[in-house]
A = this chain, B = another copy of it.
Amino acid sequence: ERKQQSLTYSNRGMTLEEDINVTNQYYLDNEIAVIHKKPTPIQIVNVDYPRRSAAVIKEAYFKQSSTTDYNGIYNGKYIDFEAKETKNNTSFPLQNFHEHQITHMKNVKNQGGICFVILSAFSSYYLLEAEHLFTFWNRQASGGRKSITKNEIDDFAHIIPTSYQARIDYLKIIDKLYF
Contact = CB atoms under 8 A, between A and B. Distances in A.
Nearest to A38: B38
Q: What is the total number of copies of this protein in its complex?
A: 2
Contacts of A71: 71-72
A123 interface: no
Interface string A51-78: 1001111111111011100011111111
Contact of A58 (B58, B66, B73): B58
Contact of A59 (B36, B56, B62): B56
Contacts of A72: 71, 78
B55 A113 contact: no
Contacts of A113: 34, 73, 76
A34 B130 CA distance: 16
B111 A49 contact: no
A178 to B, nearest CB: 12
